[in-house]
Structure 1
């Protein structure tokens, strides 16, 4: 029956509705329509995935002709995975570029045929890790911090390591005590991570925190510094809301973690949060984030000052302060942080 369906209908309606591995099954089992599933068709699928995940210009394939079918098949398959995880990795890549963790020749990061063939001999090989970690692994070998590779590496005890960081491991949902705040909304595709005294809400949060905590002071990273601090207090409900409320992407993205000294049952665990307000959107060149911790709110930025004291911060750091105001205004913290905080940079 499928043999009698016109090629135009296959190309226009049927093949676009199939997942990549389903389209390849057509190539393998339907002799008449096999010629329709080509490398060029898969490249179109790749371009569609890049656009859908906002990855155009961040991730790409090697487009040097001729393109082996097996290569574009692997690339098309992995880019089709992770409707939430790929966009998150795109935001990470934008920050990584600002902090000079990406190659000297810039973006996009190219998924090479050699690497995909060596490390992804099958679909099963890709799915050995939680999806967010599997996606990071695809390009992590292209990132460096002061010459040290940031490739995701397995350790002998079932944990992992990246660069010179402490080892870390996935915390399964069943390991979290009843009522633990990270059990609610647990994502197996982007799981809770344990690294020494830190517990991270997700692998994505772990990566973002690593940028600010460990990878922000390397060679070529000009001007990453704390410029403002404000002591608000643990008991202030506005501080509590900023620490725990959902924040929309137009305001910023959150990086949640807690210091529990390695004890999931710790009664005195301290929650902290980074709120990234700039540097993760397309065309942004300044990375700015608030550190919400221990009753304080601190502003860090890579923005170069455009004026010196006694000019106000809104003049000296226009991009950062504008983004912070938009975030803090709904919480009623704008004046207490920006206008009454202590300028330190």
Structure 2
């Protein structure tokens, strides 16, 4: 299935197809050299498949983990790209989760002022969220995504078969991003996840539903000036928890506890039950007290004069934007 995504500079396709990686030569570029980036958490056969389907100049394997999404790793990639004598007609292929995609995309965006970028996401989180929409970035000084750009891929290849090697904790953390989008925008998709007796059997429908939400949002707001902020539901507290926990919690786990303070009444009850069903946390870690949460939230990219723009959910499938101070948000978070 090809899902076209429009953006101000043109259009790219999301390929959603089981077995797509085994037929990568159909979808990856020819007539140029490629630079494949992966990490140690990704089965090596996935990067080999991408490299073998193209004229590959180099495969770079970085350490797995959020710590890799750094300016140091960014510099390593740029150095290796220069060593490989990549030109503006060549391209970068990311094979991995959100860390690999964000880092590789940022390197592609800035090497020689921009070369082609292809993304093959191999985690559920990156398949339903981070690989689509053109956000690329690295972390710095403990602050997530503080250095980055909007840079659209030329293609995104999503092969649900690669998720068979994903451990269940990572799977649940990725599912949290689909839950997030459903909670704000699609009550039917939320109900599917809520009532599913076999989430693996329902996975293709979940991925497709999440992609449809994400596509609709980013096409209407490619630069995150308005509607796209809905995708940040749970992320203000979530990013603060992620910074406090310094890698001990996965991104999706942090978003899970970040969503609950932004829900009210029946919506919170339903969301809490769904998170518990899939083994996601519903309480803040003890390290995340109000003072530390506020310290991290003051660096939030959504901060503006008078507070931070946050997303609240009063009823599953709908949302509102509101502005709160870090102190107000932290107060809600520590009392859930």
Which TM-score band (shorter chain)?
A: under 0.3
Please give the TM-score of this superposition, normalised by the length of structure 1.
0.26
Please give the TM-score of this superposition, normalised by the length of structure 2.
0.27
Higher helix share: 2
Greater radius of gyration (CA): 1
